[in-house]
Structure 1
Amino acid sequence: MSFLFRPLLTCTAGSARTFALLSLALTSGCATMPQPRNLAGAQYQPAQRVAASAATDRCLTPALPAALGALVPEPAEALAAFPDILGPGDRLRVDVSGDKDVLSHDYVIAANGSLTINGIGAIPAAGRSSAAVALEVRDRLVAAGLIRDIANNLRLVSTERAGVAVSVEGAVFEPGVIVAGDRPNESRATTVANPALGDFNNGRSLATAIRAAGGLRPDAALDAVYLVRGERYARIDLRPVLGGVEGSDGSGGLPVDPQLARGDRIIVPSAGCFQTRLVRPSPVTAPGIRVYMSNLSRPAASNAASAIGRDATSLPYGTRFLQGLIAANCIGGSAMNAGRSAVLISHNPLNGHSVVISRKVEALVRDADRDAVDPYLMPGDAIACYDSTAMTVVDAVGVVGSLLGPAVLVKSLNR
Structure 2
Amino acid sequence: MTNRTISIAVMAALLSGCATMERPANPINSQYAPQQFLDQDSFQSLCRPASLSGLELPANEVSSGMFAAKPDLLSAGDRVRLNIAGDEDSLSRTYVLAANGTVTLDGRYNIQLTGKTVVEAERLIARKLVEEGLIRGLLNSVRLRLAELGGVSVAVSGAVFEPGMIRVGERQAETRGVNLSNSDSGDRNLRRSLTVALRAAGGIRPDADLSAVYLVRGDQWTRVDLNGAISGHAIDDIPLTSNDRIIVGSGGCFQDALVKPSQVTAPGIRVYMSNLSRPAASNSSSSINSDSTSLPYGTRLSQAMVAANCVGGSGMNAARKVVLMSRNPITGQSVVIQRSVEKLVRYANRDQKDPYLMPGDSLACYDSFAMNVRDVISLVGETASPYFLLKNID
TM-score, with length taken from structure 1:
0.90
What is the DSSP-based 3-state SS (H/G/I as helix, E as strand, rest coil) of the residue aligned with 1:332?
A: coil
Q: 1:92 to 1:48 in 2, by over 3 A?
A: same
Asked if structure 2 preserves the Cα contact closer than 8 Å seen for 1:68 and 1:233, the reply is: no
Q: Give the aligned residue type for 2:255.
A: Q
What corresponds to 1:107 in structure 2?
95
Q: 2:80 aligns with which of 69, 82, 92?
A: 92
For the aligned residue pairs, the C-alpha RMSD in angstroms reads 2.0
What corresponds to 1:5 in structure 2?
none
Whether 1:274 and 2:254 are equivalent positions in the alignment is yes
Q: 1:205 aligns with which of 190, 193, 209?
A: 193
Whether 1:171 and 2:133 are equivalent positions in the alignment is no
Question: What whole-Å deviation, never above 9, does each CA across 1:280-324 have from its counterpart, x for those lacking one?
Answer: 000000100011111111212221111111111100000000001
**1:65 to partner: Cα distance:** 4.9
What corresponds to 1:56 in structure 2?
45
Q: Which aligned pairs between 1:237-256 and structure 2 lie closer than 5 A?
A: 237-243=225-231, 252-256=232-236
CA distance in 2 between partners of 1:174 and 1:405 (Å) = 57
Q: 1:185 to 1:22 in 2, by over 3 A?
A: farther
Asked if structure 1 preserves the Cα contact closer than 8 Å seen for 2:38 and 2:353, the reply is: no
What corresponds to 1:9 in structure 2?
none
Whether 1:337 and 2:337 are equivalent positions in the alignment is no
What is the DSSP-based 3-state SS (H/G/I as helix, E as strand, rest coil) of the residue aligned with 2:211?
A: coil
**1:140 to partner: Cα distance:** 1.9
CA distance in 2 between partners of 1:194 and 1:27 (Å) = 76
Asked if structure 2 preserves the Cα contact closer than 8 Å seen for 1:224 and 1:235, the reply is: yes
Asked if structure 2 preserves the Cα contact closer than 8 Å seen for 1:321 and 1:375, the reply is: yes
Q: Percent identity?
A: 50
Asked if structure 2 preserves the Cα contact closer than 8 Å seen for 1:50 and 1:357, the reply is: no
**1:228 to partner: Cα distance:** 0.8
Q: 1:26 aligns with which of 8, 14, 21?
A: 14
Whether 1:393 and 2:384 are equivalent positions in the alignment is no
What is the DSSP-based 3-state SS (H/G/I as helix, E as strand, rest coil) of the residue aligned with 1:307?
A: coil
**1:18 to partner: Cα distance:** 3.5
Whether 1:219 and 2:207 are equivalent positions in the alignment is yes
Q: Which aligned pairs between 1:187-198 and structure 2 lie closer than 5 A?
A: 187-194=175-182, 196-198=184-186
What corresponds to 1:296 in structure 2?
276
What is the DSSP-based 3-state SS (H/G/I as helix, E as strand, rest coil) of the residue aligned with 1:222?
A: strand
CA distance in 1 between partners of 2:247 and 2:333 (Å) = 23
Asked if structure 1 preserves the Cα contact closer than 8 Å seen for 2:230 and 2:262, the reply is: yes
Asked if structure 1 preserves the Cα contact closer than 8 Å seen for 2:58 and 2:220, the reply is: no
Q: Which runs of 5+ in 1 are unaligned?
A: 1-12, 244-251
TM-score, with length taken from structure 2:
0.94
What corresponds to 2:355 in structure 1?
375
Asked if structure 1 preserves the Cα contact closer than 8 Å seen for 2:25 and 2:336, the reply is: yes
Q: 2:34 aligns with which of 28, 46, 53?
A: 46
**1:148 to partner: Cα distance:** 3.2
Q: Which aligned pairs between 1:351-370 and structure 2 lie closer than 5 A?
A: 351-370=331-350
Question: What whole-Å deviation, never above 9, does each CA across 1:46-104 have from its counterpart, x for those lacking one?
Answer: 000167986225585x6545334552211111111122111111111112233322111
**1:402 to partner: Cα distance:** 1.2
| 373-382 or 72-81, which deviates more | 72-81
CA distance in 1 between partners of 2:128 and 2:186 (Å) = 23
What corresponds to 2:137 in structure 1?
149
Whether 1:235 and 2:215 are equivalent positions in the alignment is no
CA distance in 2 between partners of 1:197 and 1:77 (Å) = 25
Q: Give the aligned residue type for 2:392.
A: S
CA distance in 2 between partners of 1:109 and 1:316 (Å) = 39
CA distance in 1 between partners of 2:15 and 2:180 (Å) = 70
What corresponds to 2:124 in structure 1?
136
**1:38 to partner: Cα distance:** 0.7
**1:413 to partner: Cα distance:** 2.6
Q: Give the aligned residue type for 2:391.
A: K
CA distance in 2 between partners of 1:175 and 1:143 (Å) = 45
Asked if structure 2 preserves the Cα contact closer than 8 Å seen for 1:364 and 1:374, the reply is: yes
What corresponds to 2:301 in structure 1?
321
What corresponds to 1:260 in structure 2?
240
Q: Which aligned pairs between 1:74-89 and structure 2 lie closer than 5 A?
A: 74-89=62-77
**1:144 to partner: Cα distance:** 3.0
What corresponds to 1:37 in structure 2?
25
